[in-house]
Structure 1
Amino acid sequence: MSSGIRATVAVTTPEGCPLAEFSRAVETSITQVSTSSARADDVGNTTEFLAPTARATDAQPDSVRGPIFSYGDTAIYRFEHDTDTTCPCTCLGSYGCPIHRYDVEDGTLTVVFHAETFDQLQSIMADFRDQFDAVDVQQLLRPPLKGTPKERVFVNRGKLTDRQEEVLETAFDMGYFERPKGANATEIAATLDIAPSTVTEHLVAAQRKLLGDVLGRDS
């Protein structure tokens, strides 16, 4: 069994998502959600969430029912998920991905889910970007999910272009990163039949992308 990848992805104001629509309309954050992703062969599922009741209930979307039960200043709200709905939850359900957590604030949905493989994760992200205007991958972790955050870093090789990966692998195999060096940029360039300046350019770009993941910085 694959250990999988845990991804944290933020989707800004996803159209068709009742959670995001409720958060934006009522101007509240949502952190306690009880749901299961809608399976591709199912008619849908029910989602319930806890939200403050202090704001006018007439502002909430028609798709959301409630309050169902009240708990002081908060209440349970509910909506039905149709599998035809275009939203991140339904997309993840079509892949059978377990969803770990939802957070919603100002209409932006942050979902933490588990993908079986990196290829599956890439397919999911391609669907997300086709369906939604603003998608931000905030974190990728490969289990075991223990130790400090720095020890749980996932390095995304998918950031590299094919050429950058080729130059990086060639440089590594030829000993460019060893001390003393097994090869210099000129020798790598001769092997790949490209200019030494091109080798340096690709190496710098590749290292910056990968180190951005390691250091938790934008690359």
Structure 2
Amino acid sequence: MADTILVKLAIPACDRCPVATLSERTPLREVRIDPTDERVDFVASELTSDPPGDLELLEFAGEIHGRYDLERTASNLEGDTCDDCACDEFPPAFSSVPVSPREARIDDGELIVTFVLTGYGELQAVVNAFDATEVRQILVDRDVEDGDGRSDVVPIDLTGVTERQATVAALAVEKGYFEPDGATADEIAAELGVAKSTVSEHLRLVTATVLSQLFGEGT
């Protein structure tokens, strides 16, 4: 049986998105991304004064139910286009992930999504589906034999990983550094404009952080 993995991702929304603007005033929960109709549905705890335009809001049973149609025109964005809008990238990304999210919310302009996955292949697919993704939390329920002295469920705390270390590690994964025929540390260093030793040290620290929590005795 493969390991079961819970991963929490933070995906920045476009600062022009009215849903993201509303989330700066009140947290949005039960967020659903519809990749077919290209729509965002959500529930807000309260209706703020002067809510952003382009949102359909309806009060029901003491809650505010909202909908945002992503089929917007340039005039909705005051002359700008939506081609590079992060919100517009949500539907195709969600249509390519192997499983539906267990939980999704938007808080202060960030889409926070939690997935429960069966194995590292699905984890890689989910992380690759979104651009500018920050991994906030990973929990691994390992398939271990009884009596091996380790906990079945392992929380991976990434708070000790710096932004720079995460950037190097993300590029290393993207370029296949950990695969037999992937990029070398020299190639990653050249792309980042840093020394090879810097790349190696960042990857060593990130790897140590993750592996010590996954396989440490008594963790």
- The list of structure 1 runs, each at least 4 consecutive aligned residues, that deviate by more than 6 angstroms after superposition, is 160-166
1:9 equivalenced with 2:9 (yes/no): yes
Give the corresponding residue for 1:69. Answer: 60
Give the corresponding residue for 1:211. Answer: 208
The alpha-carbon deviation at position 8 of structure 1 amounts to 0.7
Q: 1:206 to 1:12 in 2, by over 3 A?
A: closer
Q: 1:61 to 1:123 in 2, by over 3 A?
A: farther
Cα distance between partner residues in 2 of 1:2 and 1:77: 38
Cα distance between partner residues in 2 of 1:163 and 1:128: 20
Give the corresponding residue for 1:48. Answer: 42
Give the corresponding residue for 1:182. Answer: none
What letter matches 2:49 in structure 1? Answer: A
Higher relative helix content? 1
What letter matches 1:22 in structure 2? Answer: L
Contact preservation (8 Å) 1:164, 1:206: no
Give the corresponding residue for 2:155. Answer: 153
Larger Rg: 1
- Percent identical among aligned pairs is 16
Cα distance between partner residues in 2 of 1:94 and 1:165: 23
**Which of 22, 33, 38 is equivalent to 2:34?**
38
Contact preservation (8 Å) 2:26, 2:44: no
Aligned-residue Cα RMSD (Å) equals 4.4
Contact preservation (8 Å) 1:16, 1:87: no
Unaligned residue ranges in structure 2 (runs of 5+): 72-82, 143-150, 159-167, 181-195, 215-219
SS of 2:93's equivalent? helix
Cα distance between partner residues in 2 of 1:163 and 1:66: 47
Cα distance between partner residues in 1 of 2:97 and 2:127: 12
What letter matches 2:7 in structure 1? Answer: A
The alpha-carbon deviation at position 65 of structure 1 amounts to 0.7
Contact preservation (8 Å) 1:16, 1:86: no
Contact preservation (8 Å) 2:20, 2:109: yes
Aligned length: 163
Give the corresponding residue for 1:103. Answer: 105
Q: 1:10 to 1:206 in 2, by over 3 A?
A: closer
Unaligned residue ranges in structure 1 (runs of 5+): 167-197
**Which of 139, 143, 147 is equivalent to 2:141?**
143
Q: 1:120 to 1:155 in 2, by over 3 A?
A: farther
Contact preservation (8 Å) 1:14, 1:109: no
The alpha-carbon deviation at position 137 of structure 1 amounts to 0.8
Cα distance between partner residues in 1 of 2:88 and 2:95: 11
SS of 1:142's equivalent? strand
